[in-house]
Chains A and B, each alone.
Chain A
Amino acid sequence: MEFTDIASAWKQGPADVGRLVDDRLMAAVLEADRALARTVVRRDRLEFVTAVGMATVFLWIGWSSTVAWPWVSAAVLTLGVGSLFLWEQVRRNRNAAHPPQSVIARLTEALRETDHQIAQLRSVVWWYLLPLAGVAVLVLVGTILGARDALPPQTWARVRMGAFAVLIPVLASAFGAIWWLNAHVIRSRLVPHRKAILELVDQLTDREAE
């Protein structure tokens, strides 16, 4: 077949899906857009608002406690983790303001974004799990130190040991599960996706084609 014949045959294929631009479709596109924005924006805002709320509670407890330093430290750590989500939203908005245009630029941006997601998930222990574990330990320390005067010394010592004996395994299990889930997502979805995009970028920048 000559290429002109191929092109002629191709253009005679399906060209319509009926009422492609009707009002029902417009409403559905708008709703899909809003839903996507809600999912992405809501997640990050929720994390930040929750962090601010918790930090406020910790500071209030510390203000009225005899031992303030664990609560203040917990508030600082919580705000630190929350601000990372805010920074992520700022970064996303900044990228959206200058979108790429050509296919190769869009693919390169998609590759960069995938690398960013992989880096975030790989480092989740350092910027999310350990700080949250630190907050849990500090809350426990603040609670135990605050109860020191209310309990007989031996009871207080037993409570102290028992609390940590429960907290540490619970934290290790919960955060271990989160870490494993993240590693699974990286391995099963993000790395193959990255490989596919990289192959496309490599093909487009193939110098033999020049």
Chain B
Amino acid sequence: MDARETTFRRWLGEHRGILVRLTYAYATGPDDREDMLQDILLALWRSVPSFRGEARESTWVFQVALQVALTRRRAERRRRPSVPLADTPEPAADGEAAAEQRMRWTRVLEALRRVAPLDRAVLLLALEGASQQEIGDVLGVTAGAAGVRLHRARRRLTEVLGG
């Protein structure tokens, strides 16, 4: 395994949860989600040689994934060979707690989808634990600008969630 593949596998191993949840936030359905994840994986793979370590790896991964999600054209789907993903494991039906958890998550997802794409990106970063500085680094704006945008996006999300 060469250095490029090692880096790629490490990025996926450390950030796969974020990548999967991002596709839920931006894709329009299961097929589109799979296509988007394939596009993100391909973009990440192609970006490995360009990564010089000037930014944090998580910042880089976010930047690549967000660019794909924000600029992707649906006409580009299925033009490339499919990257087969393993079956998405169905959550175990193990009682009320799991059902409640799923329902809360679905409610947050539906609210996120009603927010503008760029505000959705800011919210996703914040929900995944990024600081204002990190959000600014990912987007390419100052931490102050990122903070203002995050404040507006959080207000919008709260409105959509009904208080």
Q: Which residues of chain A have a CB within 8 Å of any CB of chain B?
A: 1, 3, 6-7, 9-22, 24-26, 28-33, 35-36, 99, 101-107, 110, 189, 193, 196-197, 200, 203-204, 209-210
Contact = CB atoms under 8 A, between A and B. Distances in A.
A3 B154 contact: yes
B114 interface: no
Contact of A200 (B88, B117, B148): B117
A10 B105 contact: yes
Contacts of B9: 21, 26
B116 interface: yes
Nearest to B84: A28
A11 B42 CA distance: 24
Contact of A209 (B47, B145, B154): B145
A21 B20 CA distance: 13
B16 A17 contact: yes
A12 B105 contact: yes
B38 to A, nearest CB: 7
A9 B104 contact: yes
Nearest to A9: B104
B84 A25 contact: yes
B99 interface: no
7 contacts: A9-B108, A10-B105, A17-B88, A24-B84, A35-B80, A107-B70, A107-B71
B86 interface: yes
Given A16-B16, A36-B42, A105 B161 contact: no
Nearest to B55: A101
Most buried by B among A11, A19, A103, A210: A103
Contact of B139 (A15, A20, A103, A110): A103
Nearest to B67: A106
A88 B117 CA distance: 32
B85 interface: yes
B137 interface: yes
A13 to B, nearest CB: 4
Nearest to B71: A110
Closest 4 CB pairs of A and B: A102-B140, A18-B86, A15-B17, A104-B140
A6 B86 CA distance: 29
A20 B163 CA distance: 37
A21 B24 contact: no
Given A6-B157, A21-B12, A210 B71 contact: no
Given A16-B17, A25-B86, A204-B140, 8 more contacts: A7-B126, A9-B104, A10-B21, A13-B21, A18-B89, A36-B42, A196-B71, A210-B142
Given A105-B140, A106-B63, A19 B86 contact: yes
B82 A28 contact: yes
A24 B80 CA distance: 16
B123 to A, nearest CB: 9
B41 interface: yes
